[in-house]
Each structure stands twice: as C-alpha cells, then as structure tokens.
C-alpha cells in the first residue's frame, strides 16, 4: 500500500504541474491576444512583404483621322510615412511648418498652412505610415513636390510615398461618350472600352509592397520589379467632323421639339463603317447628355420605316408593280374588327402602289399585305421574306448590349388576326435603329448587306498589328429588279412624298419617313399618345456614299411626324457631309462643254493686254484680238470675245472700271492720283469721272 500511495502522489504532482503549465500558457495566450494583440499584429504586419500587381497604362482610342477620342492621363497620390526609418524627429519639427505651407500653396482651398501642420502632427502622433496629403497630382506638380522640405530627402529619410494613378479622359467630352463607354469596378463594361478591354488594358506588372496594417499596402520603393505592358491602341471608323455635325444637329432637334431622347447614325454604304453615332437623352436633372446607347440597344416598334421591307416582299413575289392601282377607301379600312387609318386625311378612293408608298398610306400597304399573305401558307412566306432580309438577327456590331430584334412566327405564340396588317406598317415587331439602318444600307448597296463596324485597326506604338476590314452579312437580300424598284420608291418619297421638304437642288436623297405611336395599344381616351419620329435613307441617291438614320423619341412640341421632326436633322447632316466631301461632287469639267452664248461670256473686263489674252488662251475661249496697245477691254460679239484697244492719256483720269485692283492702282497712281478701295473683285465704280484732268485727287474705288 505504501508503494501504491507513493506512486499515486507522484502522478498527482505531475498532473498538477501539467495543469499549472496549461494555465500559464492559457493566460499568456489571453494576454497576447487581448492586451498585447494590437502591438503584436502591427509588428507582424510590418514584417509582411509581398509582390502586388501594378496596372498597365491603358491604350488609346483614336478616330479614323487620328484624333484622340479616349486616353489615360497619369496622375499621382502623395502620401507620407511618418514612421519612415530615416525620418528624424528634429528634422520633422524643424521643417514641418514649411512643408505645410508648400502643400497649402499647391492646392489652394484644400487646407490652410495651419491645417496641414495639424494634419502632419496628428499623423505623426498616431504613427501613420500612409497619410494621404494630396490627390490628382500632375507630373509637373510631382517634380515640384519632390523638392519640398523633408520630401527632398526621399522615400526613407523623408517618408515621401508616391502612388501612380491613371484617369481616363475623353478630350471631346460628350462627343461619342456612350459608344466609347467605360470599364469600372462593380459595373458592367460599356461601349468600345468594354468590348476591347483585354486589348486596351495591357498586362499588369509586379511591385514589392509592405503591409502596414489590415489591408493597407505601401510600396517599398518607387520602382516596379516587373514592368507592366501597356495596352494596345484601337483606331475607330469615326469621322470626328461628321460625328460633330451629327450630334449638333440631333441636339438642336431634341431641344426644339422638347423630346425625351434621340439618336442618329451615319454609315458608309460600301463598307459598313460607322462614321458617326450619336445618342442624346435627358438626365434626372433634365440635362441633355449621352445617357444610353439608343442607336444600338433600344429595340422598339419602328413604324412606317418598316413599310419598305413589306413592299419589297410584295415585289419579290411579283404580287404588285409600282403603277398598279389599289383601293384605299379615303384612308380608312377595317381589319378583323380593328379600324386602321392613314396618318394624314385625304379623299382618295384609289392610288397607285408608288403613290401609297410615297404618301406613306397605312391602309394602302396593310391592305396589300393582308390581301396577298393572310392565308396560313402565305403568312409564313411573308415572314420568311423578312427573315431573308435578316431583320430577325442582330447586326453583330462590336459594342455590347445590342438590342434583340423581334419578328413573329406565323400563327405561333401571340399571332392574331390583326398581326399581319399591323406588322406591315411597323407594329407588333421590334428593331433597333442600327438594324433598320443596316437594311436600308443594303438597299443603297444594290442588295449587299454589310456588317456595321466601329474598329478598323489595333496598333502598338503607332504600328498596326491587326486590321479589321468590311464583312458581308448577305451577298444579296433580294432580286436586282426588286432593289431597283425599292430605290425608285425611296427617291419618290423625297421628290413628291412625305419628305419633299428636304429635297436638295445639289444632290439627290432617297429615304423613308417613320412615325410610330409608342403606346398605340393603350386606351387612347385615358392616355396621351407618345410618338417616335424617324427618317432613314441614303445620299447621294445616284451613287450612294452614306446611309443615315435619325430617330427622335417623344417630341412634345413643334410636330411629331417623321417628315417634320427627324427628316430635317437628316438633311442637315447630309448637306454638311456633301459640302465637305469633294468626292461626292461631279467634276466641273466632267461633262460636255456647254455651248457658249453672249450672256454667259465674261463681259466688261479690262486689263493689261498680255494678261487678258493669256487668260483667254488658258480657258480656251473663242476670241478676236483687235488690240494693239498695252491696255485693253473685252466685249462680246455673238459667241466670241472681242479684245479692243483701251486709250490711256497722260494727265487724264483713266477709266478703270472692269479692271482688277492691281491694274487700276497702277494706272491711277502713275497719273499722281491717290487710291482708296472697298470690296473684292473688279472695279464697278470710281469716284472721279473718267476724262477729268488729274490734279492729285483721291479716287475711291468700289469693287464687286
């Protein structure tokens, strides 16, 4: 028993010792975690280093002519490590106020010198290793800051921390704002910035960083261990001048008609290049800005611009010809119990197919479609025509968020007895403005449908590494005969139809107006109608260069028809494109020389004989030279110019009418006269009558 008890006592002692050790360990752990936790965590953090990613410089976006549309502007954050190893207390105290004064002058209004001094003091007391002093500092400002007291000692002795940031800038502000888009954290990428993010973003670099507390990291030095690779640049199809014209014309229309929003697109017919794309809407503060890409993303009921594909389906099947006459019942007709009316009242009982398209008769188009396609098999045939025109598919443009087109399948889903006639005039289906324009562009391009696109080149350091060319979506959307007749109809709309107000004397336009009621299915007695005005077409009609669509949603004053709201915007864009594009103009000497008649020949011209004859020889004008003196004048004799003697006498005021200013001054000043002139061109009036004796007078000349 004594041996057993002795063993038990030993076990108890060992157990007690182990319990006491455990208790001591527990107490120490509590002390470390609770009472000394912050100190030890701070120490652990200060000893923790890691390589962290450094963002690359984002690539630029250029217009077709090399203008900068979007770029990254470098800026810097200025921070200070108040516990920098080499920062001595006496240095800090001695130069603190001077540094505060310099920082205050750098950003007037942010902090006073006293405010900066207090900020530095408090940060020093807290041992702040990452105190923010200045943001959005430019490179020249950074060079100046590096010369400030304390900071001029560098990273370790002065505590200066410089963090490079990058700010995306769009030099043209609202111009193309939404189509250029953006890439932001916690937000869906938008526009070209989003679609080409991988190309523009480049590859990240690596930099040694030190964690000082929590998730705060500071750079160990000012250098990156692995340099980032800058993003590549992209060159767009955008013509800055056309873009500017398009946005200004659209902006004026939205203001004039107090519209909710609008969009406009200009496309190059042969290639599908988007030369301009404008989107203007109202913000919550009722300001006008590019709030959403309506041109690409807004899929709505197009209204009367859809009458062209409906008419082309009829032409493809040979059901009608342009001069066929149809019954339109004064613009009123009932379909399956629903009354349809023409937008403008008239008393026409009958009209030709050409006329109903030019006047945009709802009843005329709908009755033709209903007559020829109302049967089950034929309805499917009509829908197949629309699909053959690619109206049920997206265009595939590079920008994300293209709206889905919607074309119903015959006798499926929500197909009803009134679907067919209402589809023919642009209801019960959906299209984006870009999809509508792509179809019209195909008509302008003799049936070849081109993919609209915005980017032509990807560049690196100014050299093209990848080119993107035109893409054909469909080689022919319809027969050549159908396309030719469709073009006739579109030209007729401008000549004698709903858009005759935009007819030009300089070039021909082809297109179609569109006016859609956005809430046509609602009870009209209880709600005010909301309209969508549009115009889509191309120019010059004889040899199309550009196609264009303009859409204005919910105009609230100054009219709502496509011909009065959208068509004038199209005309303004087309006029300025035509005026600035020499290739659209017919060469002056391209045709046969006109027969010369007296009324067209230059008359009443005078000057130095040799100059006059040289000019007439260069212009290949018929002439009879009868002059034998140095000075001459011209007159017309039937279809020939006669060059006759002009008598100049000494001390007599000569007749200088018909001369250029240089010759007139030469003759007058040779006679001792003083000359004062006004205007440009040739002399049409002189203040002193020819033949008067010269006495050193002043002669006033009017030129025109």
| CA 415 distance to own-chain centroid | 38
Distance CA 363, CA 652 (A): 81
* Confidence grade of residue 9 (pLDDT, cut at 50, 70, 90): confident
Q: Is the pLDDT of residue 253 over 90?
A: yes
- CA distances (Å), origin 446, targets 27, 310, 477: 90, 18, 9
Q: How far is CA 686 from CA 533, 607, 649, 652, in A?
A: 57, 16, 17, 14
Q: Is residue 240 within 8 Å of 67, Cβ to Cβ?
A: yes
Residue-range domain boundaries for the chain:
51-235, 243-583, 598-703
Q: What is the pLDDT of residue 189?
A: 87
User: Which residue has better confidence, 491 or 167?
Assistant: 491
Is the pLDDT at 10 greater than 80? The verdict is: no
DSSP β-bridge partners for residue 211: 48, 217
CA distance 548 to 499: 15
- What is the distance between the alpha carbons of residues 432 and 560, in angstroms, rounded to a whole number? 19
- Residue found by looking up tokens 């929590």 in the block: 214
> What integer pLDDT is reported at residue 164 of this predicted model?
80
Helices vs strands, H then E, count in the chain: 22, 29
Joined together, the tokens standing for residue 300 give: 């709505």
CA distance 298 to 433: 8
Q: Write the pLDDT tens digit of every residue in 181-222.
A: 888 877 888 899 999 999 998 877 666 666 666 556 666 665
Residue range 549-567: mean pLDDT, rounded: 96
Token pair belonging to 378? 């034929």
What average pLDDT does the segment 330-337 reach?
A: 92
Per the CB < 8 A criterion, the answer to whether 401 and 293 are in contact is yes
pLDDT at 169 over 90: no
Residue 594 has pLDDT above 90, yes or no: no
pLDDT digits (tens, 9 = 90+) for 266-276: 999 999 999 99
pTM here is 0.73
Say if residues 261 and 291 touch (Cβ distance below 8 Å).
yes
* pLDDT tens-digit series, residues 36-46: 666 666 555 55
Q: Look over the chain and give the mean of its residue pLDDT values, rounded to a whole number.
A: 88
**pLDDT for position 220:** 65
The SS3 of residue 476 is coil
Considering 65-69, 129-133, 607-611, 632-636, the range whose residues carry the highest mean pLDDT is 65-69
pLDDT at residue 208 in the model: 67
pLDDT in tens, 225-252: 566 788 899 999 999 999 999 999 999 9
pLDDT confidence of residue 445: 98
What's the pLDDT at 525?
45
DSSP 301-357: --GGGGHHHHHHHHHHHTS--TT-EEE-GGGEEEETTEEEE-SS----SEEEHHHHH
Mind giving me the DSSP string for 212-249?
Answer: EETTEEEESSSS-SBPPBPPPEEEES--HHHHHHHHHH
- The answer on pLDDT for 320 being more than 90 is yes
Q: Which residue has the higher pLDDT, 281 or 412?
A: 281
Res. 578: pLDDT tops 80? yes
- The two three-digit tokens of residue 380, written as one number: 């499917």
Is residue 461 pLDDT above 80, yes or no? Answer: yes
Per the document, the length of the chain is 704
Write the CA distances from 300 to 297, 335, 400, integer angstroms: 10, 23, 18
Per-residue pLDDT, 16 = 81
586 phi/psi in degrees, rounded to 5? -70, 135
Q: Are 69 and 180 in contact (CB under 8 A)?
A: yes
Residue 109 or residue 353, greater confidence = 353
- At residue 118, the pLDDT reads 92
CATH entry, 598-703, from 1.10.1780.10, 3.40.50.1980, 3.10.20.30, 3.30.10.20:
3.30.10.20
What pLDDT is recorded for position 57? 84
pLDDT: is 363 or 34 the higher one?
Answer: 363
H-helix or E-strand containing 677?
strand 674-679
CB 512 within 8 A of CB 537: yes
3-state secondary structure of 206: strand
Write the CB contacts of 97 (distance below 8 Å, at least 6 apart in sequence).
113, 117
Instruction: Look at residue 526 in the predicted model and tell me its pLDDT.
Output: 44
- Is the pLDDT assigned to residue 573 strictly greater than 90? yes
More confident residue, 671 or 32: 671
CA separation for the pair 145, 161 (Å, rounded)? 11
Q: How confident is the model at residue 597 (pLDDT cuts 50, 70, 90)?
A: low
d(CA 149, CA 644): 88
Q: pLDDT tens-digit profile of 481-530?
A: 999 999 999 999 999 999 999 999 999 999 999 999 988 664 444 467 89
State the pLDDT at residue 522.
Answer: 45
User: Any idea what the Cα angle at residue 266 is, between residues 261 and 271, rounded to 5°?
Assistant: 145
Q: Give the residue with greater pLDDT, 582 vs 559.
A: 559
Mean pLDDT across 157-174: 86
Q: Is the dihedral of CA 292, 296, 299, 304 positive or negative?
A: positive
**Beta-ladder partners of 251:** none
Four-way CATH pick for 243-583: 3.40.710.10, 3.40.50.720, 3.40.50.2000, 3.40.190.10: 3.40.710.10
Predicted pLDDT of residue 524? 44
The CATH classification of domain 51-235, taken from the options 1.20.120.160, 3.90.1310.10, 3.40.50.1970, 3.40.50.300: 3.90.1310.10
Cβ–Cβ < 8 Å for 503, 495: yes
Q: Where residue 691 falls among pLDDT bands split at 50, 70, 90?
A: confident
Contact 245, 570 (CB under 8 A): no
Max avg pLDDT among 337-346, 349-358, 693-702: 349-358
Packed helices 307-317 and 433-444: angle between N→C axes, nearest 10 degrees: 40
> Does residue 596 surpass a pLDDT of 60?
no
- The answer to whether 357 touches 321, Cβ cutoff 8 Å, is no
Q: Which of 68, 69, 62, 177 is nearest to 458 (CA)?
A: 62
What pLDDT is attached to residue 523? 42
């Amino acid at each position: 028993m004594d041996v057993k008890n002795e063993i038990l006592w030993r076990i108890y002692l060992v157990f007690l010792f182990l319990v006491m050790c455990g208790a001591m360990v527990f107490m120490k752990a509590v002390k470390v975690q609770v009472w000394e936790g912050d100190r030890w965590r701070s120490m652990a953090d200060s000893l923790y280093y890691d390589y962290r990613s450094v963002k690359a410089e984002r690539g630029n976006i250029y217009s077709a002519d090399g203008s900068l549309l979007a770029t990254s502007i470098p800026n810097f954050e200025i921070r200070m490590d108040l516990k920098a190893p080499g920062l001595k207390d006496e240095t800090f105290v001695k130069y603190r106020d001077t540094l505060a004064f310099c920082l205050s002058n750098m950003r007037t209004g942010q902090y006073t010198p006293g405010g900066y001094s207090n900020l530095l003091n408090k940060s020093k007391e807290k041992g702040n290793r990452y105190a923010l002093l200045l943001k959005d500092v430019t490179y020249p400002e950074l060079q100046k800051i590096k010369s400030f007291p304390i900071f001029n000692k560098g990273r370790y002795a002065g505590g200066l921390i410089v963090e490079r940031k990058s700010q995306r800038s769009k030099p043209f502000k609202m111009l193309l704002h939404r189509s250029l888009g953006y890439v932001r954290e916690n937000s869906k990428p938008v526009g070209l910035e989003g679609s080409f993010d991988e190309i523009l973003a480049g590859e990240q670099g690596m930099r040694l960083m030190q964690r000082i507390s929590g998730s705060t990291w500071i750079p160990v030095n000012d250098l990156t261990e692995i340099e980032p690779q800058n993003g590549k640049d992209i060159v767009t199809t955008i013509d800055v001048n056309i873009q500017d014209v398009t946005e200004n014309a659209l902006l004026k229309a939205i203001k004039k008609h107090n519209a909710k929003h609008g969009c406009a697109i200009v496309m190059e017919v042969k290639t599908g290049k988007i030369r301009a794309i404008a989107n203007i809407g109202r913000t919550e503060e009722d300001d006008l800005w590019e709030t959403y890409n309506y041109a690409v993303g807004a899929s709505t009921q197009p209204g009367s611009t859809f009458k062209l594909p409906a008419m082309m389906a009829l032409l493809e099947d040979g059901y009608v010809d342009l001069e066929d006459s149809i019954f339109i019942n004064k613009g009123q007709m009932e379909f399956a119990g629903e009354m349809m009316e023409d937008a403008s009242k008239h008393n026409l009982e009958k009209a030709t197919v050409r006329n109903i398209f030019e006047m945009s008769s709802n009843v005329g188009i709908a009755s033709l479609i209903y007559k020829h396609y109302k049967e089950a098999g034929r309805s499917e045939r009509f829908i197949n025509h629309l699909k053959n025109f690619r109206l049920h598919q997206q265009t595939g443009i590079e920008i994300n968020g293209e709206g889905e087109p919607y074309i119903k399948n015959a006798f499926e889903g929500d197909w009803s007895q009134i679907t067919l006639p209402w589809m023919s005039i642009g209801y019960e289906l959906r299209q984006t403005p870009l999809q509508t324009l792509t179809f019209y562009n195909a008509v302008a391009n003799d049936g070849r449908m081109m993919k609209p696109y915005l980017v032509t080149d990807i560049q690196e350091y100014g050299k093209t590494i990848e080119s993107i060319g035109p893409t054909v979506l469909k080689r022919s959307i319809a027969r050549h005969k159908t396309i030719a007749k469709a073009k006739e109809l579109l030209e007729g709309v401008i000549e004698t139809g709903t858009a005759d107000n935009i007819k030009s004397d300089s070039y021909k336009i082809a297109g179609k107006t569109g006016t859609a009621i956005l809430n046509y299915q609602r009870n009209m007695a209880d709600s005010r109608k909301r309209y969508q005005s549009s115009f889509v077409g191309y120019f010059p009609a004889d040899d199309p260069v550009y196609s264009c669509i303009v859409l204005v949603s919910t105009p609230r004053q100054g009219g709502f028809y496509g011909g009065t709201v959208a068509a004038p915007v199209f005309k303004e864009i087309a006029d300025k494109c035509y005026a600035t594009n020499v290739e659209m103009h017919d060469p002056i000497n391209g045709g046969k020389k006109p027969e010369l008649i007296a009324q067209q020949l230059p008359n009443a011209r005078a000057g130095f004989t040799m100059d006059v004859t040289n000019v007439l020889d260069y212009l290949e004008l018929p002439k009879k030279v009868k002059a034998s003196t140095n000075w001459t004048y011209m007159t017309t004799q039937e279809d020939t110019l006669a060059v006759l003697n002009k008598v100049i006498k000494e001390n007599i005021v000569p007749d200088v009418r018909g001369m250029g200013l240089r010759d007139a001054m030469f003759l007058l000043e040779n006679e001792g006269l003083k000359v004062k002139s006004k205007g440009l061109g040739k002399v049409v009036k002189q203040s002193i009558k020819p033949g008067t004796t010269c006495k050193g007078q002043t002669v006033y000349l009017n030129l025109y």
